[in-house]
Structure 1
Amino acid sequence: MGQAEWVTVPISTRDTDGPLFFTEHEWATVEAATARIIPTDHHPGAKEAGVVRFIDRMLAGTQFVFPAADGKGFLRMEGLEEKAWQERIESRQRFYREGIVELDAISAEKFGSEFIELDDEQQDAVLETISRKEKPARFVFTESDGQGSGGAPAGNQPVNEDFLEFFPLLVLNTRQGFYGDPVYGGNDNRVGWRVIGFPGPPSLASTMDGSYTTLEYMIPEAEWPYEQHPAVLRYGNR
């Protein structure tokens, strides 16, 4: 049975407020960690965007992988594809469960408490330890020229998340939950899109039926290889 024949199940990632996969403690720990990756300042952060819900639904099983084209539910996978996705999800589940245990272990060793009991600076110190990297400098965006100092555009950062360790996976999933389509459980009230000035499509269905386009956000007259376009290369010279 192909994807075109899969049945649409009328479910939403927001049908339940709390966790479907995580325990309450795991949920609180992941929510706290993502809130340090995209913290709340004068803009909403990962907590306000509901990133932890996005991650929980991603780990809950195969029921939230493929949204229906009309935006009114998710496709129920069948056969070998469902089996392959389930194995992939179970691998990520293990990464998260083990990673949360490690976060608490480092927190206890450094500060004598679980991760969720620490203050912001202590949580940052734990994340530096588990990532084996210093906390990155604050991203600077220059409104005068519309360019940032944060590196290459996301489209030029290809990542296969199946081969990431826990912390890089958490960072990637935090970004996905903050900036992704709300249908997947994150980006509550489109806060991630509003932060970057992107209105987003009126609905998921509009991205499928051709009534919505992102052409206005593309680099005019860009040619392949895209990464050699001057507007892209400028990021590499910063």
Structure 2
Amino acid sequence: MGQAEWVTVPVSTRDVEGPTFFSQHEWDTIEAATARIIPTDHHPGAREAKVVRFIDRMLAGTQFIFPAADGIGFLRMEGREAAVWEERIEQRRRFYREGIREMDRLAQELGGGAFVELGEADQDAVLEKLSGAAKPGGFTLDDEGGGLGGAPAGNQPVNEDFLEFFPLLVLNTRQGFYGDPVYGGNENRVGWGVIGFDGPPSLASTMDGSYTTRKYMVEGAEWPYDQHPVVLRYRRP
């Protein structure tokens, strides 16, 4: 097996709107499930953010994994890197397909139809059964106990490779809602809008240093941003 070849392929997640990995039924089922995880209320939810498209592209293969630094197109993996990635996501593919079948089985027991045919309350009941936990109640964020923060959070504090279907679905829903639109989710940057984040104008602006999130850093934190060891670690001389 040869070494990887990195070639920029001028393709966008918007070039293909429908399913790439999922069947249409699987697409519709995951779209409905994500819409219950981040529902539409006075803000857009997972459905408006096209979270299902993000998940579909993640499972499709290697063509939508590594966007080029200029923000145009994706890097094509070949050789060992492509084989390793395919092996890595094979378990996720299986979890999703088995999870969709289980959602439909539970939906049939509860309401006599497929998951997508149930009302929202019954869909919630299916997801509660699937997760083994009650649906979370409402909560309010406040300033109490917020503190001044510490080290910047890691880029990905949860290892997806060790998650079973439902927690994987929840994590991927959050990623598709809040992640960079280049990966297929966060349509029209609606996820960023919900939390008041302006976001970079393009992926390229995060690479060339023209965009920074410094204004969101907490003043007076334990480590000033410019001197934080994690920041300095990646700073070029």
TM-score in terms of structure 1 length: 0.86
Q: How far did residue 220 of structure 1 move?
A: 2.9
Go from structure 1 to structure 2 and tell me whether the alpha carbon gap of 1:39 and 1:147 turns closer, same or farther (over 3 Å shift).
farther
Q: How far did residue 178 of structure 1 move?
A: 0.2
Go from structure 1 to structure 2 and tell me whether the alpha carbon gap of 1:115 and 1:74 turns closer, same or farther (over 3 Å shift).
same
C-alpha separation in 1, matches of 2:52 and 2:164: 18
Partner of 1:230: none
Partner of 2:210: 211
Partner of 1:47: 47
1:14 alignment partner, SS class:
helix
Matched-pair contact (CA < 8 Å) for 2:10–2:72: yes
Partner of 2:128: 128
1:52-63 to 2 correspondences below 5 Å: 52-63=52-63
Go from structure 1 to structure 2 and tell me whether the alpha carbon gap of 1:146 and 1:47 turns closer, same or farther (over 3 Å shift).
farther
Q: How far did residue 140 of structure 1 move?
A: 1.6
Partner of 2:112: 112
Q: How far did residue 109 of structure 1 move?
A: 1.2
Equivalent residues, number? 217
C-alpha separation in 1, matches of 2:49 and 2:213: 22
Q: Deviations over 1:158-217 (max 9, x none)?
A: 211111010000000000000000000000000000000001001110000111111111
Partner of 2:219: 220
Counterpart amino acid of 1:217?
Y
Q: Which has the higher helix share?
A: 1
Indicate yes or no: 2:138 matched with 1:138.
Answer: yes
Q: How far did residue 223 of structure 1 move?
A: 3.7
Partner of 2:179: 180
Partner of 1:195: 194
C-alpha separation in 2, matches of 1:222 and 1:165: 36
Counterpart amino acid of 1:101?
R
Go from structure 1 to structure 2 and tell me whether the alpha carbon gap of 1:146 and 1:187 turns closer, same or farther (over 3 Å shift).
farther
Q: How far did residue 2 of structure 1 move?
A: 7.9
Matched-pair contact (CA < 8 Å) for 1:141–1:147: no
Q: How far did residue 22 of structure 1 move?
A: 0.4
Q: Deviations over 1:117-147 (max 9, x none)?
A: 00010000000000000001123234xx498
Counterpart amino acid of 1:56?
D
TM-score in terms of structure 2 length: 0.86
Matched-pair contact (CA < 8 Å) for 1:161–1:169: yes
Partner of 1:22: 22
C-alpha separation in 2, matches of 1:96 and 1:17: 20
Go from structure 1 to structure 2 and tell me whether the alpha carbon gap of 1:97 and 1:219 turns closer, same or farther (over 3 Å shift).
same
1:75 alignment partner, SS class:
strand
2:8 alignment partner, SS class:
strand
Indicate yes or no: 2:90 matched with 1:95.
Answer: no
Which piece of structure 1 moves more, 186-195 or 72-81?
Answer: 72-81
C-alpha separation in 1, matches of 2:12 and 2:145: 37
Q: Percent identity?
A: 72
Counterpart amino acid of 1:136?
P
C-alpha separation in 2, matches of 1:218 and 1:29: 38
Which piece of structure 1 moves more, 38-47 or 89-98?
Answer: 89-98
Q: Deviations over 1:33-81 (max 9, x none)?
A: 0000000000000000000000000011011110000111000012222
Q: How far did residue 16 of structure 1 move?
A: 1.1
1:65-104 to 2 correspondences below 5 Å: 65-104=65-104
C-alpha separation in 2, matches of 1:158 and 1:136: 22
C-alpha separation in 1, matches of 2:132 and 2:13: 33
Q: How far did residue 86 of structure 1 move?
A: 0.8
Structure 2: 5+ residue stretches without partners: 147-151, 226-237
C-alpha separation in 1, matches of 2:106 and 2:198: 40
C-alpha separation in 1, matches of 2:197 and 2:144: 14
